[in-house]
Amino acid sequence: MTLAPDLDAPADTAAVSVRGLAKRYGPVRALDAVDLDIEAGSYFVLLGPSGGGKTTLLRALGGFIRPDAGTVRLAGREVQDLPPNRRPTGMVFQSYALFPHMSVLGNVAYGLKLRRLSAEEARARAEAVLARVGLDGYGERRVWELSGGQQQRVQLARALALEPRILLLDEPLAALDAKLRKEMCYELKHLQEQVGITFVHVTHNQEEAMTVADRIALISDGRLVESGAPKEIYERPRRRFTAEFVGERNLFDGRVAAVEDGIAAIETPGGPALAPAEGTAPGAEAAISVRSERLTLSREPRPGAALRAEWRERVYLGLVAQHIVALPDGRELSIRIAPGGPEDAGWSAGEPCHVGWDPADARLHLD
């Protein structure tokens, strides 16, 4: 499926513009006619499951993969025939890819030396960039003396020293532990805001994506599923895949049984699931999704959607308490409640309950 290019970003501000990009490996379609636009100066995240094609897409942008078909425009120029060293892109790798036989300064200054800068100027620029990423004075260290986070920053410095228009990041935080990952997320975001160039960041981690992105594109099975700002993706996903992948949602598949006052209903064993119809007619095959934090748990039915269910268990997650309930056919739903509230306590297994939500909080998906 292709998505029309973003109409609110006129062509000349698109830093990256991809049309019909395709790549096959034997019988596998790694990329299947992808169209994409990325606005200049934004932080763009390619999010998706492993093996879905997001890294392939990134590498095609960088020139490390030759697509079978399609065009890639970077900063207005067609580049699909250009090798990586001739593209206006820099790249940051998952495995850090630092040069162990050079010092940190040598790594950062490598690209500058290739551009025939004098040794003093290259050194001065490299040291300035190192300071910018918070590694002031680390120039003479050797690569293996640094921690994972520091190596990541050296990589950033090495790429940024060359002032690329677009920085490509291939799962840059995958090898870091959770706490460090959070810190680096903020640092990357601030860095991008300061430097002002376009960042294209690949990850399979949603939280990472939500933290840093101005816009997120979901890539799966070689196709662009959906793209939008984090808030849109999270609160109002258009496609079923997005609803399943991002955030924790409960899904009800089926056929639209009725549409009343703009609200569609899908029958479930516990009662009708409701969501805004947005023009869909009865009889259409669809799915309804509701975020687990938008569900209410009660002993009596509440106005709005209300399904009969049987309480199963409670999992304490610190920030929230997750309650698992089961519909009459055994399908489980997940409800997230703030711990300590009246709905949170006093449940016993097998107790009948009602799960409800405001129909406006639900979404209807046609595909």
Partner 1 sequence: MSEDYVSPWETRLGWLALSAVVLAIMSPVLYSIYISFNEHGFGAARYDFTTAWYAAVFEDAQLLSALGWTVALALATVVVTIPFALLCAKLFKRLRRKLWLVFLILMPLFAPADIFASSLLVFFKTLNGTFEGIADATGLPVGHFFQLGFVTATIGLIVYTLPYAFVVILITMGRYNAEQTEAARACGATAWQAFLQVEFPQIRPGVLAATAFTVILVFNEYVRSNALKGGFDTFTTVLISQMLNIGMSEQSYAMGGMMSLTAISVVAAILAWTFARRAQLTRRAAAPAGN
Partner 2 sequence: MRGGGAGFGPVPPLPDPASPALARLGARAAAAAFYLPPAFMALFFLAPSLMTVVWSFWERTMFWMEPAFTLFSYENFFLSARFGNFLSSIGHSSIAVVICFVIGFPIAVFVRRRIPEIAQHRVMLLFILPFMVSEIVRTFMLRPVLGRNGLVNSTLMELGVISEPITSILFTPTGVVIGEVLSFLPFMVFCGFLAMEAAPRHVFEVCADIGAPRWRVFKDVILPLAAPGVFAGAVFILVNGLGVALIPNTLGGPGAVNAGLIATQAIIALDFPLAMAVSAIMTLTLIGLLALGHRLFDLASILEPFK
**168-176, 193-201, 264-272, 337-345 -> range binding partner 2 (CB under 8 A):** 193-201
Nearest CA to 86 out of 94, 99, 95, 77 is that of: 77
* Pairwise CA distance, residues 307 & 305, whole Å: 7
Q: Which of residues 88-107 bind partner 1 (CB under 8 A)?
A: 89-91, 93-95, 97-101
Residue pair 302/256 in contact (Cβ under 8 Å)? The answer is no
Choose between 104 and 355: whose C-beta lies nearer to partner 2: 104
**151-159, 218-226, 275-283, 287-295 -> range binding partner 1 (CB under 8 A):** 151-159
| Smallest gap from residue 84 Cβ to partner 1 (A) | 4
Residue pair 43/203 in contact (Cβ under 8 Å)? The answer is no
User: Does residue 220 bind partner 1 (CB under 8 A)?
Assistant: no
Q: Which of residues 252-271 bind partner 2 (CB under 8 A)?
A: none
Residues in contact with partner 2, shown as a per-residue x/- string from 68 to 87 under the rule CB under 8 A: -----------------xx-
Choose between 162 and 305: whose C-beta lies nearer to partner 1: 162
User: Does residue 162 bind partner 2 (CB under 8 A)?
Assistant: yes
Residue pair 88/74 in contact (Cβ under 8 Å)? The answer is yes
User: Does residue 147 bind partner 1 (CB under 8 A)?
Assistant: yes
Residue 96, Cβ density class (10 Å: 0-12 exposed, 13-18 middle, ≥19 buried): middle
The two tokens of residue 139 are 């120039």
# residues near partner 2 by CB under 8 A: 21
Residue 99 touches which of partner 2, partner 1, none (Cβ within 5-8 Å per kind): partner 1
Phi/psi for 179 (5° steps) reads: -65, -45
| Smallest gap from residue 160 Cβ to partner 2 (A) | 7
Residue pair 347/353 in contact (Cβ under 8 Å)? The answer is yes
The torsion region of residue 116 among left (phi > 0), alpha (psi -120 to 50) and beta comes to left
User: Does residue 202 bind partner 2 (CB under 8 A)?
Assistant: no
Give whole-number Cα distances, 344 to 192, 250, 304, 313, 330, in Å. Answer: 41, 19, 20, 11, 22
Binding stretches for partner 1 (CB under 8 A): 25-26, 62-64, 83-85, 89-91, 93-95, 97-101, 110-111, 114-115, 142, 144-147, 149-150, 155, 158-159, 162, 168
